Structure formats: structure tokens, C-alpha cells
Amino acid sequence: MKTTVGLTHDPRRQCAWAVYWFGEPDLETGKQPKYTKSFRYKAEARTFQSEKQAEFDNGGTRDKPRDVTFMELVDQFTETRVAPLSHSSQLGYQNTVAQLREHFGSIVSIRDIDRRHAEKFMATRKRLSGNGKPLASWTRSRHLMHCRAIFNAAVEWGYIVSSPFAAPRRRSGSPLRVKGRSRPWQHIKPDEFVTLLIEVAAVQKKAGLWLMYGCGLRAGEVYNLTVDKIDLERRRVHIENREGTNDVPPFTVKSDGQSSEAKRRTVPIPEAAIAALIEACGQAFKAGGFVTLTQERFERVRDHWRLCREGKPWGAQTAHRPWQNRDMVNSFLRDTKASLRRSGVDV
């Protein structure tokens, strides 16, 4: 197999210097395709020759990448990288892809999309509502994250050499440098938490607040928690995936880019939370074994899960979609903020 990048000179040509190299051998014939690139000046040819040789020595592809359209790339990326993600993540990618397709078109070759085009795309993003307000930095950063994931995959698959959406090296005003700003955390002091517990009457809500405040669980984890996952004797709670049944929807530990299995964990329960959890566990049999659901809420969840399995919309949904962890609870954030305000905590 020929691996050396060569250099030839033909004074009869206007671009007299030519760099040549050989691709991967054909599996049937064993022949290697030959590629050339011409230059007018020897110095340019020498530089390209050394860069090409270094690229091959570092494992770079020897053959010219296949010309792939944007929609071909999107179809492959969706099938391999987006399909395993959560429903909300899939919707985010669909939004970005729709805007990319509107901006570039479906049949454009991804090799024709350069950094200038990428910067123009990011600079022209606007709110879908059309109210004229600037696009939130968080939304802009999500678009950029999706674009980088899509075109980084194209680099990995050998379709392009580099991603046009890669972060620029220099610190400049490039639209490709975006840092999403999240909302500030609402820090609750211990005395404020005690006041909040006094304001909340329902046993299930008290137990849920203790699991979040005392154990650091997410709301989706708390409202999917069943009695068998709480060990009151050893004072610990187990967070792990649950398969769906006819009566109970599934639960998947939020993975944040990691395998959900890697997020399985056991969390200690503070002594102060035991009394509330004992009382909530004692009433859980009325709610299908769910510690923080009332009987009424469990029956509603069961009806929604039945409609979901039948491929129908439920509740406020106008179209069917996959079940999500947060579908176990309704208006959690609104109710918690209202309780905080009634207890005198500034939110």
C-alpha cells in the first residue's frame, strides 16, 4: 500500500507543481485511487505536501469524502444520535434542523457550508413568535449545541474535515461564541424551609419537599418514587429505572448526556425527614404505591397513561407524544411558588 504523499513538477503547465497521494485500496481489485492537487508555486506545494502527510500519519482519511447533502446527514444523525434521546431533546433537535433546512435548503452539500455561512445562520436567529424581542441566550446556545453535534458527527464519519460550527480560537464577537444564561437558583434557608412545611398541609407534599430539600432529588424522581424504593430502617432511598406496566408508567433516570444506568444511585435520608416519610408511606397504598401522589392524582395519571399507550392525547395535550417523567405531577412549580409566597419567602 502506497502511503507517501509525493510531489511532481511539469513546467509545461500553468500550475506546474502537483501534490499526489493514494487512497485506500479497493477491496476487490486492490488498486488505490490516485488524487492530485496543483499549485503555481513550489513553496505552496511543499507546505500542502507536509500538511497532508502529517494528516495521514495522524490517522486522517486518505480518500476524498463522499458528497453528502444536508438532509442525508440529518437523516443519518437522527437515526443514530437523536433517536435514543428523550422526547423533549428530540423536539429541540427538530426545531434546530427545521431552521437549518429553511436557511440552507435540503439539497445543499455539507462541504459547501463554511464558517461564514455558520456565523450568518447563528446571527440571524430570531424568536419564532415574531414579537421582535432578541432571542434568549439559552435558546441560541441550544441551537449552537445542536449544530455542533450534527456537524461533529459529519467529521467523525469522514464527510467533512472540520465543522463550520466549531468554536473560534480567538476571543471575538463571533456568533459562534454563545454562553447560555440560566435563571438564578432560589436558595431556601433552613428556617425558611421549616416555615414552608408549616404552610403545606398535605402529607404527600411534605414528604416530597423533604426528599428534594433533604435528599437532593429532582421533582421527576420524587413523584415517580414508590414505597419499595425507600428503606426507612437504613434511612436511604434508591433511584433507578422502572419498566412501565398497564397501570404504572415507566420512569427513566435523567441522564444528562450519560447512560441512565450510570445515574442509578442510593441517597441517604436525613433524620428530620423520617417522620414525614413514614406517614406518607402509610398512605401510599391508596395511590398505587407512590409515596408523593394522592389517590386522586394517581387515578388521573393512570388514565393519562392508558391514553398514552393507546396513542391518544391526554390532559392538555393536543397530539400524542411519548410519556415523560414530569407527566406524573401537574403544576408542581406553580404550587410550590405559591406556598413559598404564603409562607413569607421572597420568590
> What would the pLDDT profile of 58-68 be if each residue is shown by its tens digit?
877 777 767 89
Q: Are 230 and 288 in contact (CB under 8 A)?
A: no
pLDDT at 109 over 70: yes
Q: Would you call 135 helix, strand, or coil by DSSP?
A: coil
pLDDT in tens, 127-176: 887 777 888 888 999 999 999 999 999 988 888 888 999 988 776 678 88
pTM: 0.63
Residues 6+ apart with CB under 8 A from 253: 221, 239, 240, 241, 260, 263, 264
Q: Give me 324's grid cell.
A: 415523560
Quickly state the pLDDT bin for 43 (edges 50, 70, 90): very high
pLDDT at res. 87 = 81
Backbone φ, ψ for residue 183 (5° rounding): -70, 145
The lowest-confidence range among 25-34, 108-117, 170-179 is: 170-179
Q: Would you call 179 helix, strand, or coil by DSSP?
A: coil
Q: Are 49 and 7 in contact (CB under 8 A)?
A: yes
Highest mean pLDDT among 23-37, 54-68, 77-91, 287-301: 287-301
pLDDT at res. 129 = 78
322: left (phi over 0), alpha (psi -120 to 50) or beta: beta
pLDDT at res. 142 = 93
pLDDT at 333 over 90: no
pLDDT in tens, 290-300: 999 999 999 99
pLDDT in tens, 138-149: 899 999 999 999
Q: Would you call 339 helix, strand, or coil by DSSP?
A: helix
pLDDT at 261 over 70: no
pLDDT at res. 98 = 95
| Cα dihedral across residues 159, 161, 166, 172: positive or negative | negative
Percentage of residues in the chain having pLDDT higher than 70 = 95
pLDDT in tens, 298-318: 999 999 999 999 999 988 878
pLDDT at res. 183 = 64
pLDDT at res. 65 = 67
Mean pLDDT value across the chain: 88
Percentage of residues in the chain having pLDDT higher than 90 = 56
pLDDT at 259 over 80: no
pLDDT at res. 131 = 79
pLDDT at res. 248 = 93
The lowest-confidence range among 58-62, 210-214, 256-260, 329-333 is: 256-260
pLDDT at res. 215 = 93
Residues paired with 38 in a beta bridge:
18
Identify the helix (H) or strand (E) that includes residue 309: helix 295-309
123: left (phi over 0), alpha (psi -120 to 50) or beta: alpha
Quickly state the pLDDT bin for 178 (edges 50, 70, 90): confident
257: left (phi over 0), alpha (psi -120 to 50) or beta: left
pLDDT at res. 256 = 54
Quickly state the pLDDT bin for 321 (edges 50, 70, 90): confident
pLDDT at 186 over 80: no
Of 108, 169, 178, the C-alpha closest to 143 is 178
Sheet containing 6-9, strands listed edge to edge, beginning at the edge strand earlier in sequence = 6-9, 17-22, 34-39
* Strand pairing class (6-9; 34-39): unpaired
The lowest-confidence range among 27-31, 93-97, 258-262 is: 258-262
pLDDT at 282 over 80: yes
Residues 6+ apart with CB under 8 A from 207: 273, 276, 277, 279, 280, 291, 292
* Strand pairing class (236-239; 230-231): antiparallel
Q: Give me 24's grid cell.
A: 485506500
